[in-house]
Amino acid sequence: MTFSVAPDVRSALDEGRPVVALESTVISHGLPYPSNLEIAQGMEAAIRDEGAMPATVAVLNGQVHVGLSAVDLEHLATSSDVHKVSRRDLPVVVALGLDGATTVSATMYVAHQTGIAVFATGGIGGVHRGHPHDVSADLTELGRTPVAVVCAGAKAILDLPLTREVLETQGVPVIGFGERDMAAFYSRSSGLPADVRVDEPDQVAHIIRAQRRLGLQNGILVTVPVPEKDEIPPEEIEGSIIQATREAEDAGVTGAALTPFVLSRLAELTGGRSVHTNVSLLLNNARVAARIAVALSRD
């Protein structure tokens, strides 16, 4: 299938200029309007400010788009009929001519197929607390698709030690950007070690190039701690996570609906503080990803 690649994204790719992929689930299924539109615009602007080209991925009327217009972003932010699209869902929404917001796994796949090596997101999915067999497709995708995913670690509502174990099993190197530990979304440290700490975008670019030379087909996870001023320490957020998770279990919320439910309750339980932290880490990740893409373009 031929993807619809925006002209400015296509020009950047053809000319070897830096490009950063962005997912669209955060727009349609992450934050409420108008915050969702503002963060989408803010992430794209942050990437441009760092000298790279943003390429937000989504499915519109059954067509996979790489790079969206302002009208497209507005549509994703306001429509109530946008499907959440993982890798498994791509053929369904394409065949039926539907609209879809891509998750980490679907965005990684599309980015790789388009020739984009760096992808910025908030946090990856992982192993759900109390449900060790409920494992996000993000982890499988990281094990088979050679894209560098820049994030703030796995979402803190997950079982982080088990998620870290699955990443190891999948052969995914975890790089701590500026920290020795893997980041924990709302908190700067999970207490779980990264495989290596790096402090400069050039170092990440070197690792990506080495992976290419070795012919490895797995992804690379770059975890970036949320800016210190916006961090919610683990001891402060953990109680709210436990309560929100328990409420989800009591309500019988499972599967794809679980994460949105828990994140929404966290926003209420923290008086909006978790949303503020989420926005901060999204913008920060976009900036770091753009710097890595710029460094990688200096081949």
pLDDT of residue 32: 85
> What are the average pLDDT values for consecutive 10-residue runs of the chain, which has 299 residues?
92 98 95 92 98 98 98 97 96 98 98 98 93 91 98 94 97 98 96 98 98 97 97 93 89 80 89 94 98 95
Give per-residue pLDDT as tens, 167-200.
Answer: 999 999 999 999 999 999 999 999 999 999 999 9
pTM flag (> 0.85): yes
Q: Which residues contact 79 (CB under 8 A, 6 or more apart)?
A: 28, 99
Phi–psi pair at 34, nearest 5 degrees: -95, 5
**Whose CA is closest to 21, among 109, 136, 98, 137?**
109
pLDDT of residue 258: 78
Beta bridge mates, 181: 193
Q: Please confirm, yes or no, whether 84 is among the known catalytic residues.
A: no
Both tokens of residue 111?
């980015």
- Domains in the chain, please, with CATH? 4-296 (3.40.1790.10)
Which member of 23, 44, 50, 179 is catalytic?
A: 23
Which member of 44, 141, 155, 231 is catalytic?
A: 155
Whether 226 and 277 have beta carbons less than 8 Å apart is answered as: yes
> Alpha carbon 31 to chain centroid distance?
14
pLDDT of residue 1: 60
pLDDT of residue 101: 98
pLDDT of residue 129: 87
In which residue are the tokens 């998750």 written?
A: 103
CA distance 47 to 157: 27
Q: Please confirm, yes or no, whether 23 is among the known catalytic residues.
A: yes
Give per-residue pLDDT as tens, 125-182.
Answer: 999 888 888 899 999 999 999 999 999 999 988 999 999 999 999 999 999 999 999 9
